[in-house]
Amino acid sequence: METIYLDNAATTPLDREVFEKIAPYYTELFGNADSPHAVGRRAMRAVDEARDTLASLMNAKNNEIYFTSGGTESDNWAILGGARAMREQGRTHIVISSIEHHACFHAAQTLEKEGFSVTYLPVNKSGRVESGALKEAITKNTCLVALMWANNETGVLQPIETACELAHEQGALFFTDAVQATPYLPIDVKSLGVDMLSFSGHKFHGVKGSGGLYIKNGVKIKKLVGGGEQERGLRGGTVNVPSVVALALAYAKTRAEQTQANEKIKGLSELFMKEIATLDGVVQNGDIQNALPSILNLRFNGVENTAFLYNMDLKGVCLAAGSACASASVKPSHVLTAMGLTEREAKESVRFSFGKTNTAEEIRQAASLTKETVDRLRG
C-alpha cells in the first residue's frame, strides 16, 4: 500500500538538494560559527550567506534576521520579548486573535500571569478577524498586537496590513506568525510594515527545528534564550549551521518556484473537491476566496473525525483534524469553535493539506477513499 501524504501543513519532506547541500556541514564543515579560527570562520561564512539570502528575499536588512529553533520559539520570543520590553514604557495590554497557534496562546497566558491583560479577538463565520474588532481592542495601553498571516487549520488569510496600521496608530508593536503563509505568499517585510514576523523551515521543505524571526531595526525586544553572545547577543546557543544553511536554500527554492507550485497545489485542491462532488453533506469551513491554496478544511456531516482519520490512515492516507501539536487532545478545535461551529461540527471536520510533491493520481485515489469511508461510516 502506497502512502498518500496530505498533511503538508504539519510538515513537508526535506528537499533532496537541500539535504545534499547541508550534509558537509555535519562532517567536514563542522565548525562552531563563533570560533575565531579557520574552521569556525568557514562556518560563520555559511551562516552570514544564509542570513543575506533570507534578508534579501524578504526585503529586510541582514541584521534584522535572527535564527531560532523554529516557529514555536520565534512566536514565544516575539510575544514575550516584545511585550516585556514595551512594559518599560508603562504599557501592559496585548491583543491576540482567538485562532492563533498554541505557541502564541501559551506566550499570552504567561504574560497574563505576569500582570498583562490580554484581549482575544473574535473571528467571523469565515474565520477572519474583522477590522472593527481590532479598532475596538487596541488602546493606548496596548503594547503588542499578534495576528497570524494564515491560519494553520483553515488556511484563511488575516487582515495583517490593517492590523499593523491600527497597532501603529496607537503606538503598539505588530507581530505576525507567518509560519503557514511563508511557503505560499512572497514576504516583503517593508511593504507589510510589520515589526516582527516568524517563519519555520520544515513547512517549506527545510529541516525540522529550523526557523527565524524578523525583527525590524529599532524594535526593542527582551531575550528569551540567554547564553552566549550569538545572534547579536539576543539569542544564546551555538548556531545550528546545517539548519541555517537549509533554511536559506529551502526558502530560496520556495520563492523561485512559488507561482508554479501554488498553481499546481490549487489545481490539486480543486481536483479533490471535484472528485468528491457527489458526496452529500460536505461543508467547507472558512473563507475559500481568501485562503492559502494548500488547505481544505471540510466537515462531513454525521462523521466523527477521529473515526474518519483512523480509517483513512488504515488505507494509507495521512490527514489531520487540525494542528499536529494538538492532535493528542480530545478537545474540539479552538479555531473552528471560534468561527461559531458547535463542538459536534468541529469534531466532524478534517484538514486536507496539499503540497507540491503530491500527484493528481494520489488526489483521485484519496478522494475515492474519502467517499467510500464517509459513506461507510454514515451507513
**323 pairs with which residues across the strands?**
none
Please give the residue whose beta carbon sits closest to ligand PLP in the complex.
71
Burial class (CB in 10 A: 0-12, 13-18, 19+), 93: buried
Query: What residues have CB less than 8 Å from 315, skipping those under 6 apart?
Result: 1, 369, 373
Site track for ligand PLP across 38-77, x = CB under 6 A: --------------------------------xxx--x--
Residue 31 vs 183, nearer CB to ligand PLP: 183
C-beta separation of 73 from 211 below 8 A = yes
Q: Contact between 127 and ligand PLP (CB under 6 A)? A: no
> E strands along the chain, which residues?
4-5, 65-68, 93-97, 117-121, 142-146, 173-177, 196-200, 211-215, 282-284, 295-300, 317-318, 349-353
Cα gap 145→79, rounded to integer Å: 9
- Give min distance, CB of 138 to ligand PLP, in A: 22
Cα gap 92→94, rounded to integer Å: 7
Residues 133-152 that bind ligand PLP (CB under 6 A): 148, 152
Residues 146-205 that bind ligand PLP (CB under 6 A): 148, 152, 177, 179-180, 200
Residues 308-337 that bind ligand PLP (CB under 6 A): 323
Question: How many C-beta neighbours within 10 Å does residue 275 have?
Answer: 18
Residue 15 vs 177, nearer CB to ligand PLP: 177
Q: Contact between 224 and ligand PLP (CB under 6 A)? A: no
164 catalytic residue (yes or no): no
Residue 21 vs 208, nearer CB to ligand PLP: 208
Mind telling me the catalytic residues?
325
Q: Which residues bind ligand PLP (CB under 6 A)?
A: 70-72, 75, 101, 103, 148, 152, 177, 179-180, 200, 211, 323
